[in-house]
Amino acid sequence: MTTDRKQSFYYDPLMLGKRAQRVRVEKHLSIESLAQQAGLNKNTIVRFEKGLSTRMDTIYKICNVLSVSPFQLLDGKLVKGRDYAIKKHIESGKVQRHQRVPDASDAGMTTGDLHYKLPGGDMAAKVIEVRSRSTRRSHPGEELLFCLTGTIGVEISDVKVTLNKGDALFFWGTEPHVYFNADGTKAVSVALSIVNSGDEINEE
């Protein structure tokens, strides 16, 4: 194992855990079943999938049951339908726009809107104007992007997607992503919702 690979492996444990989780679900394995086959406690699996600190030998045990290596998970190509989905030309109603507040962390975007609390977690909904290229970001939860005006480009890990007015994109926020203005003439408006799971680790 090279030093570079070690660094990339430890760089984003949340992305690794969530990609492993999607493989587990795709293989129709429950957390309990995976834990039993790997000889681990189920809370260890939950912690790993949440991106929390996990020993290297434990990660290899989990990946062995999933028939995938940690590096395949980190370097793997995203799968359409599993890791992201595009819905073209969805009819939308009017979006209520609220006071726009400059986002100090990202000069290429302006945001504003509402925050909601859901029984299963938190959802932050906002309208964004993308003027240029955003910084690369990743976060827990699922992301829904709906193009209101213009044409927006989105890079999700190794995938580049272009959305026109009325198109929607769903993807996992743990995948590194960038928004950029693909219109080239004016700011692009999109509605963005992020849902973060409120699941807790069950202690035995």
Give the pLDDT score at 155.
94
Residue reference for tokens 């009819």: 91
Asked if residue 181 belongs to a domain, the reply is yes
Residue 162: strand pairing partners: 153
Q: What is the pLDDT of residue 121?
A: 55
Mean pLDDT of the chain: 76
Residues of the chain above pLDDT 70, percent:
73
88 and 188 in a common domain: yes
Residue 12 has pLDDT above 60, yes or no: yes
- Rounded Cα distance, 63 and 122, in Å: 30
With cut-offs at 50, 70 and 90, classify the pLDDT of residue 161. very high
Residue in 95, 130, 97 with CA at minimum distance from that of residue 113: 97
Structural domain including 35 reads 3-75
Encoding tokens for residue 75?
């370097």
pLDDT tier for residue 104 given thresholds of 50, 70 and 90: very low
Domain count, the chain: 2
CATH code: domain of residue 42: 1.10.260.40
- The burial of 181, by beta-carbon neighbours within 10 Å (0-12 exposed, 13-18 middle, 19 or more buried), is given as buried
In this predicted model, which residue has the larger pLDDT, 118 or 28? 28
Q: For 185-204, what is the mean pLDDT?
A: 61
One domain for residues 173 and 93: yes
> Among 176, 136, 193, 194, which Cα is nearest to 19's?
176
